[in-house]
Chains A and B, each alone.
Chain A
Amino acid sequence: MGYVPDHVIEALRGSHQLGLFLRVGTDPALHLWFGINDVPIGFDGIDPDGTVYLGGGRLVGIPSVEVLVNGTSDAVDFAVSGIDPATGAKMLDSLPPLRGKLVQIGLTTLDQYFQPMSSIIPIWTGIASHPKEGRAAIREGESPTLTLSLAVVAGENTRSRASRALWSDAMQKAISPTDDFCKNTARLARGNQPTWPKY
């Protein structure tokens, strides 16, 4: 048996029911899936028995995600759309800490009786970076929409220790917090001739 069980592959070959699942490993974890109904299912190694993935069409869109093979990095946004500003602010306030949490997408097929044919097969993993709140400029006659999204990165963007390759102020401060030595390098890079301080 392969990574994806044979009977799931067999189902995927023809017309089938597909379940797409999103898990964000915050505390408590967020479980969403693409369907209407709440469904008891889980990722084998992560979700305890009795986990329920919430439906109701809350998960509106999954961006195209790429699995990187010897690649560099990828960053995608998962979005919830159509919320008013007050709700959006509340959602942002009430978010559990999510930077660096694991984000997983998985799939499985459903049988004739809407029962999942396996536990969720993980197909994409990323690391949550930061939430974003955006509202596009609107014209007369259009209605404003607020979009909350979560930026998720995969690949080399996920390194937790930055490489300090530049003589920038931020990188120098990361090494020695009180050192102002590189403070004017940004101006130097723009083409200015800064006045170097005299100590």
Chain B
Amino acid sequence: MAVYINQPMFPVDYLRPARATFDNPGSGIDGGVNGTGEAISIETSGGGIVTASYKGMVLEGPDERYEILNWLGARLNGGFRFINVPIVNDKIGPFPVINGAVRPIIKGIRHSDGSLHSDGSGYSQATVWAKLTADAPLNAGQVYLRIYEASRDLRWSDWFSIYHPTKGWRAWRYWENDKLNEGTETVDGVPLTFKDYRLGISPPLREAAPAGTRVEVARPTCVMKLARGMTVPFEYEGWYSSRPSISFTEAF
């Protein structure tokens, strides 16, 4: 039985990919062609699968990154173990500008007595998040959600993700949006701006989610495995110089 929850996160910041792709391809069959050689499309995958790849990760010199590369190979080769892959949308999503930069996540938040953790890091928190405002059944193609503290409207499309209890992290994006409402809601004594939307999403939900389920906006995540035929070899040239690429496909 495949396990989709409690998987580790792909350390994308540390591995420094130069290129990334995220997609949601479907599969189709032809319905025969007309006189101009075009066919009607018959899509049979019911929403398609989420894929991702990180290309040209910069590994230069002998350092801990090679240990991570070996760990990825040891863990993921064969495609039966999974990993959570973040979809890096840091500068694209509806995030506010804080101290001169678009920030999806605030780091270094101190404890109430002003102290940090023993390693010098603080708490971190997403600047923008959302929740479902209505129950969404399995395979739902439309969701109702309320997004908090967004710096702009949801206009064309953004990636979101939900952490499901058995299917784990699953990502989707919207192709249609209807703005229903906006205003200010006070949560635990803190006034927060919100916007309500009805979104047509693709791919559909992998597991039913009740109203109130948190929807992640900053770095949406999807549980994934290596794409077919993919392995992560330990390889380098010269003085430990390497630019490996990894392709992922949604875990099933």
Contact = CB atoms under 8 A, between A and B. Distances in A.
Interface residues of B, number: 26
Contact of B46 (A15, A37, A40): A37
Interface stretch (B36-44, B99-107, B148-156): B36-44
Contacts of A131: none
B42 A15 contact: yes
A117 to B, nearest CB: 12
Nearest to B170: A37
Interface in A1-49: 14-20, 33-40
Given A40-B138, A112-B200, A115-B139, A17 B46 contact: yes
Given A15-B40, A15-B41, A16-B43, A36 B139 contact: no
A39 B141 contact: no
B45 interface: yes
Contact of A36 (B40, B141, B203): B203
Interface in A78-118: 110-115
Contact of B139 (A20, A39, A57, A112): A39
A36 B41 contact: no
Given A40-B138, A52-B138, A114-B204, A35 B45 contact: yes
A36 B249 CA distance: 12
B142 interface: yes
A122 interface: no
A19 B46 contact: yes
B43 A18 contact: yes
Contact of A40 (B42, B137, B203, B250): B137
Kindly name the residue among B45, B142, B205, B207 whose own CB sees the greatest number of chain A CB atoms within 10 A.
Answer: B45
A40 B43 contact: no
A39 B46 contact: yes
Nearest to A52: B138
Given A112-B141, A112-B200, A115-B139, A36 B43 contact: no
A37 B44 contact: no
A56 interface: yes
B92 to A, nearest CB: 25
Nearest to B42: A18
B42 A114 contact: no
A17 B139 contact: no
Contacts of A52: 138
Given A18-B42, A114-B46, A38 B141 contact: no
Contact of B142 (A18, A39, A113): A113
Contacts of A155: none
B49 interface: yes
Contacts of B250: 36
Contacts of B252: 36, 55-57
Given A57-B45, A115-B141, 15 more contacts: A16-B40, A16-B42, A17-B43, A35-B47, A36-B46, A36-B48, A38-B206, A39-B46, A40-B137, A110-B46, A111-B141, A113-B141, A113-B200, A114-B47, A114-B204
